Amino acid sequence: MAEYIAPIRDMQFVVHELAGLDQVASLPGCEEATADVVEAIFDEAGKFASGILSPLNRTGDLEGAQWKDGNVATVTGWKGAYKQFVDGGWNALSCDPEHGGQGLPRIVSALVEEMWNSSNMSFALCPMLTRGAIEAIELRGSEAIKQTYLPKMIAGEWTGTMNLTEPQAGSDLAAVRSKAIPQADGTYRIHGQKIFITYGEHDMTSNIIHLVLARTPDAPEGVKGISLFVVPKFLVKADGSLGERNDVHCVSIEHKLGIHASPTAVLAFGDKTGAIGYLVGEENRGLEYMFIMMNAARYAVGIEGIALSERAYQRALEYAKTRIQGAEAGVKGGGKAAIIRHPDVRRMLMLMKSQTEAMRAVAGVVAAAMDTARCHPDAEARKRSQAFVDLMIPIVKGWSTEKSIEITSLGVQIHGGMGFIEETGAAQHFRDSRITAIYEGTTGIQAADLIGRKIAREGGETIKGVIAAMRDVLPQLDAAGGPAFAAIRQSFAQGVDALEQGVAFILRTYGADIKSASVGAVPFLELFGIVAGGWQMARAALVAQRRIDEGKDNVFYRTKIVTSRFYADHVLSRAGSLAYAVVNGAAGALEIEDEAF
């Protein structure tokens, strides 16, 4: 099977034509992100992804991480690849230069992360969690904590984890029961168990820095009584060297459907004297701080969904071009044909291709907004961009991951019976993708956050602005002319109307009847994702036509218009039915008695 090849041409298109790299590079702190620098980064990242990480993906799936006596051995080749990864500076790409990072914009690092996840998601999970831990410490850690941990974590010498879930808690963090007992020296002794901890134990680095949610003895009940602590695997001496082993141990790792090479640990804190922890920020504000890490992780998980979709598409396309089976419909006497000539296979490939490109475009635009929210000199511009980012995080996370399950399943379908056979590799992408819609908050949690915090709570102000921006594209589609743009315009206009209908329902229903509004939350998230994707694909088609008019009539731009038209015909056309489910779908779900299920 062929190795992953980074879709650099489409990434460059997103960065320059849709996300506006020039505008991002003009922001304070982002000046080094010139077109030449970004091109070089993408080229080198693509080589590393295809040459180093991709060949280990199948090995990792077959071999899996191994637990023995509290220690976890990573897959053959993992340690060497990780050393090359950190030696190449990839771990520090978008981190703060003050502590050794390169400070590149999120729009750059996000698409590089897509390459890591496409080539080897199990490997990429480790630096992804480390980056989230770095961000939480950067924003809320004391100066002492920053100086102790950030340089090593940014350099990749130490990795980081996020410890939320407990056996009795699941997604309900109000049920967290881990204890943090204050000590006379200002530290805390942590006692409790955490489950589902990605890379909670491994052999790639000398230390692992756990960010742990726990309760102090006098903490109030519920989410308002949770504090956040740094708990290192090995304590760190004053001179920065490693000291004794902390009282945190891996008691097992999970046996999972996918991502076999990523160790998912059960960690026991304080089985002996108590694990020494250091308070991050103030007591009882831990959940607030953890959401810094959570939002970063949620966006990154959305990137995983896009990445797996791209990888599944590449594999399915390769198979469709080489698998000879059946005669081409409508061609008499033509003999057997590659299955890419069969209309239904072409439809499935275009579903994979168009939705992956739409998701990448949405995520790229959101990444650029993150850079604006962080770096723009005008406070009002930062506020507007952050509101847009907050609104779109559930879409990038929830929509992209749900679509990845469908897209990787289509990849199996295109392979036919061979897709169900592990040797082809198609099944691994399907299995790996299934977790993405669950961790860092299930799709239902993303949807509840979207309709509650991001729409109802602010009276729909931000999403109404997004809808207005969408409608601004319609006159441009009218002016473009031609059958392709007429089709895109029709489906997109209907999609925006459907989205507006769903928003209106949420705003008038949520406060008075939260259950009825919540039944349609996930359909609304899908509706918003589809229309947001249509927005970016419409913009992409317009840019492509402009480039063609400028004399750049190459295959890429023609294909972008065709792909955008397909998306409008086959994906955007679903918007009306989703809006109907949002507005009318409560009765069938809520009126049935529990005993009748």
Name residues whose C-beta falls within 8 Å of residue 274's C-beta, 6 or more positions apart in sequence: 181, 189, 190, 191, 247
Name residues whose C-beta falls within 8 Å of residue 546's C-beta, 6 or more positions apart in sequence: none
Distance, first Cα to last Cα, the chain: 45
CB atoms within 10 A of CB 200: 26
The token duo for 464 is 């109404």
Handedness of CA 31, 35, 41, 45 (dihedral sign): positive
Catalytic, out of 440, 458, 461, 595: 440
The bridge status of strand 179-182 relative to strand 188-198 is antiparallel
The token duo for 144 is 């002492």
Rg (CA), the chain: 24
User: What is residue 552's DSSP assignment?
Assistant: -
Q: Residue 524 and residue 592: Cα distance in Å, rounded?
A: 22
Q: What is the phi/psi pair of residue 98, to 5°?
A: -60, -30
Name residues whose C-beta falls within 8 Å of residue 323's C-beta, 6 or more positions apart in sequence: 338, 339
Indicate the burial class of 504 (C-beta count within 10 angstroms; 0-12, 13-18, 19 or more): middle
The token duo for 181 is 């007992």
- β strands within 322-406, DSSP E: 324-327, 336-338
The token duo for 371 is 């850079």
Q: Residue 401 and residue 447: Cα distance in Å, rounded?
A: 13
**Closest among 79, 86, 111, 80 to 100, alpha carbons compared:** 86
What's the per-residue H, E or C state across 282-312?
CCCCHHHHHHHHHHHHHHHHHHHHHHHHHHH
Helices assigned H by DSSP within 88-105: none
The bridge status of strand 324-327 relative to strand 336-338 is antiparallel
CA separation, residue 583 to residues 23, 219, 460 (Å):
39, 41, 16
Respond yes or no: is residue 39 known to be catalytic. no
Name residues whose C-beta falls within 8 Å of residue 52's C-beta, 6 or more positions apart in sequence: 81, 84, 85
Torsional class of 534: left (φ above 0), alpha (ψ -120 to 50), beta (otherwise):
alpha
Q: What is the phi/psi pair of residue 308, to 5°?
A: -65, -35
Catalytic residues: 440
